[in-house]
């Protein structure tokens, strides 16, 4: 399922079989699969752990999973389950010590999610807007062992209106932590724009709707990134 601009009243359901869909993406060349427990993100605790376990068992590539992860017990459970990377968002603002402890316990396996609307970070499943910028928050976690930062422009998420390349580039230049772009991927041209803007600091991009409706072919995107097109 996908949301438009983070709005829980505007969902699009693509399949009732997430594990089968994940396997299809792996077969098309995906080297990592992004999964968000949207119910968990809204409620503040995991709601789809069994489904995530099914996906882990169905594929060989690592999963990065977020949504409702607020304590170390949940981090432990997901990583023990076989999830490759755990994504932490709201907790980064509300409990800095927890995020630092998670990074210390699992260096290189924790991802920080920074979701922004109009340049301000949003939390609690995008339902609350703070007065802090992504760069301001990211700077607090330099050198703590984060694997990467996922930066999402909520207003573009699911809209296929084009990635906010400039904001992504500015964040990537502000910190030494690799950045993954997210929100608004429309087609292969967004991949080109990110490649031109980011260099090694932008390590990847998350795409959902554009892949599901065929506006972007995963095989083409992978080939472009690897310089095969």
| Res 120: pLDDT | 79
Reported as a pLDDT band with limits 50, 70 and 90, residue 205 is very high
Overall average pLDDT of the 7-28 stretch: 74
| Res 21: pLDDT | 94
Tokens representing 159 are 């809209």
| Res 188: pLDDT | 96
The 10s digit of each residue's pLDDT in 209-224 is 899 999 999 999 999 9
The 10s digit of each residue's pLDDT in 139-182 is 999 999 999 999 988 765 555 668 889 989 999 999 999 999 99
Tokens representing 102 are 């998670």
Are the beta carbons of 151 and 168 closer than 8 angstroms?
yes
Domains and CATH numbers, the chain: 2-225 (3.20.20.70)
Task: Tell me which H or E stretch contains 92.
Answer: helix 90-94
Q: How far apart are the first and last CA of the chain?
A: 31
| Res 229: pLDDT | 45
C-alpha–C-alpha distance, residues 41 and 152, integer Å:
15
Residue 181 is given by DSSP the state E
The 10s digit of each residue's pLDDT in 32-78 is 999 999 888 778 788 899 999 999 999 999 999 998 899 999 999 99
Tokens representing 225 are 């990134």
Q: Which of 1-10, 71-80, 109-118, 177-186 has the lowest mean pLDDT?
A: 1-10
Beta-bridged to residue 12, according to DSSP, are 2
Are the beta carbons of 139 and 128 closer than 8 angstroms?
no
């Amino acid at each position: 399922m996908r949301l438009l601009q983070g709005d829980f009243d505007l969902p699009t359901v693509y399949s009732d079989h997430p594990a089968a869909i994940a396997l299809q993406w792996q077969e098309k060349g995906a080297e990592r699969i992004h999964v968000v427990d949207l119910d968990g993100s809204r409620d503040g605790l995991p709601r789809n752990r069994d489904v995530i376990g099914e996906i882990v068992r169905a594929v060989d590539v690592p999963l990065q999973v977020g949504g409702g992860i607020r304590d170390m017990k949940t981090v432990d459970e997901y990583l023990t389950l076989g999830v490759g990377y755990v994504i932490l968002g709201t907790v980064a603002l509300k409990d800095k010590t927890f995020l630092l402890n998670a990074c210390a316990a699992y260096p290189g396996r924790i991802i920080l999610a920074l979701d922004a609307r109009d340049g301000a970070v949003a939390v609690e499943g995008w339902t609350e807007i703070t007065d802090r910028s992504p760069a301001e928050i990211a700077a607090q976690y330099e050198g703590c062992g984060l694997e990467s930062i996922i930066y999402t422009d909520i207003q573009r998420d699911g809209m296929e209106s084009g990635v906010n390349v400039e904001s992504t580039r500015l964040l990537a230049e502000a910190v030494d932590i690799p950045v993954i772009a997210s929100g608004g991927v429309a087609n292969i041209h967004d991949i080109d724009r990110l490649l031109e803007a980011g260099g090694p600091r932008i390590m990847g991009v998350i795409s959902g709707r554009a892949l599901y409706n065929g506006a972007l072919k995963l095989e083409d995107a992978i080939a472009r990134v690897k310089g095969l097109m």
